Amino acid sequence: MKEKQTPVLSVRGLKKHFKTGIGRNKLLIKAVDDVSFDIYKGEVFSLVGESGCGKTTTGRTIIKLYEPTDGEVFFLDKRIGAGYQSLKEEIKEVKKNARQGIKENPENAEKIKEERDKKIEELKNEIAQRKEDTAREDKVLMKKMQMIFQDPIASLNPRMVVKEIIAEGLRIAGEKDPDIINTRVNEMLETVGLLPEHASRYPHEFSGGQRQRIGVARALAPSPEFIIADEPVSALDVSIQAQVINLLNDLRDEFGITILFVAHDLSVVKYFSDRIGVMYYGKLVELAPKEELFKNPLHPYTRSLLSAVPLPDPNYEKTRKRIAYDPSVHNYTEEKPSLHEIKEGHFIYANQEELEKYKKELK
């Protein structure tokens, strides 16, 4: 765990909901539902969980590829994204309470209306400010945040040569000098283990691992402070996975880059991460330093994930038992759960009854 300092990235109550279907048959999908965490300078913070749990959506919402439904995202002390669903719901609640108050105390109607209008004005001003923060394009700030995508071939323009792919971010950031651009492109290619002559080739002329290196070079070109790596090795062979992970590790050490690493392979995460957040159905159910999470997995879903991790030991594999996760073990009818710090740096999603049980299980 890093020393307490100002986070590079702070996520507070982040929600991203999608509507799917047609007409009255529309469904609300809560892809990310009230997620909060901090990431500190120079660390690798990993989000893990099964496919569809909201990991990638979290990353895409942070970097503003999706607009948040609710919650706030702060990057380098500036709010870069904010939703306002809860504020709109609060306005409805204020109006409802005011109507009820006037009905019960008609003699205080004017005072109640005055307080209602004042509160609604405050909430509307906050909504307007959040909209402004979300709409504002701070190119100087946002070029310090880059993303490496999961599928290297789908994320690289097949009609552009490597030089143009890597240079595109520099041009968007305002760089116009062709000599500076050429020099930077060549530097990035060499940094990721490719050669300057590769700059004139097209993506289809490279292997999967080489294409992912091009994606890394593109992300590094604007000199970011923070990188979101969205399952960057899941589509690659195991030997190539190791190369890309070691490359990211070297870049972290060399440039001090902070990384949000999205993955479902806990073997990779254990090797690469400083802290790990476990997601299930849009919720962050457990968060802890790497060693602590593997030593003290408390949430049943975390235990289920860890039981699925294979080890290169035939004797262990013969007796390894997979733990199935059953969500019905949680009874939240009387008390709703929230994220609690059960131990320094170790957070668990639970209600008070579960929290007491987890405390007894701590090692």
The single-letter DSSP state of residue 354 is H
Considering the domain boundaries, does residue 270 fall inside one?
A: no
Where a domain ends, among 99, 115, 135? 135
Hey, which bits of 115-222 come out as E strands?
A: 145-148
Q: Give dist(CA 191, CA 72) in Å, integer.
A: 34
Residue with tokens 């330093």: 289
Residue 266: the pLDDT is 83
Considering the domain boundaries, does residue 263 fall inside one?
A: no
Tell whether the model's pLDDT for residue 173 goes beyond 90: no
Considering the domain boundaries, does residue 225 fall inside one?
A: no
Tell whether the model's pLDDT for residue 2 goes beyond 60: no
The single-letter DSSP state of residue 108 is G
Considering the domain boundaries, does residue 189 fall inside one?
A: no
Structural domain total, the chain: 2
Tell whether the model's pLDDT for residue 155 goes beyond 90: no
Say whether both 283 and 354 belong to one domain.
yes
Tell whether the model's pLDDT for residue 137 goes beyond 70: no
More confident position, 276 or 233: 276
Residue 233: the pLDDT is 80
Average pLDDT over the chain, rounded to whole?
Answer: 89
pLDDT digits (tens, 9 = 90+) for 334-363: 899 999 999 999 999 999 999 999 999 887
Residue 74: the pLDDT is 94
Token couple for 1 = 């765990």
**Which residues does residue 287 pair with via DSSP β-bridges, in sequence order?**
277, 347
Considering the domain boundaries, does residue 363 fall inside one?
A: yes
Q: Give dist(CA 248, CA 271) in Å, integer.
A: 12
Say whether both 360 and 282 belong to one domain.
yes
Q: Do strands 78-82 and 70-75 pair parallel, antiparallel, or not at all (unpaired)? A: antiparallel
Considering the domain boundaries, does residue 240 fall inside one?
A: no
Average pLDDT over residues 30-50: 94
Residue with tokens 């062709």: 178
Considering the domain boundaries, does residue 267 fall inside one?
A: no
Q: Give dist(CA 150, CA 56) in Å, integer.
A: 9
Say whether both 119 and 45 belong to one domain.
no
Residue 309: the pLDDT is 82
Q: Do strands 9-20 and 70-75 pair parallel, antiparallel, or not at all (unpaired)? A: antiparallel
User: 54-82: b or e for each residue (b if 16 or more CB lie within 10 Å)?
Assistant: bbbbbbbbbbbebebbbbbbbbbeebbbb
Residue 4: the pLDDT is 58
Residue 1: the pLDDT is 41
Task: Specify the pTM.
Answer: 0.88
Q: Give dist(CA 240, CA 218) in Å, integer.
A: 19
Residue 268: the pLDDT is 82
Average pLDDT over residues 260-267: 87
Tell whether the model's pLDDT for residue 50 goes beyond 60: yes
Say whether both 35 and 101 belong to one domain.
no
Considering the domain boundaries, does residue 258 fall inside one?
A: no
Average pLDDT over residues 157-167: 94
Residue among 274, 308, 309 nearest 292 (CA): 274
Q: In degrees rounded to 5, what are phi and psi of residue 340?
A: -115, 145
Where a domain ends, among 120, 135, 150? 135
Tell whether the model's pLDDT for residue 26 goes beyond 60: yes
Residue 267: the pLDDT is 80
Average pLDDT over residues 58-81: 93
Average pLDDT over residues 104-115: 92
Residue 117: the pLDDT is 95
Tell whether the model's pLDDT for residue 175 goes beyond 50: yes
Q: Give dist(CA 253, CA 43) in Å, integer.
A: 10
Question: What radius of gyration do the chain's Cα atoms show?
Answer: 24
Query: Which domain does 119 fall in, by range?
Result: 86-135
Residue 243: the pLDDT is 80
- 283 CB-contact burial (10 Å; exposed 0-12 / middle 13-18 / buried 19+): buried
Tell whether the model's pLDDT for residue 3 goes beyond 60: no
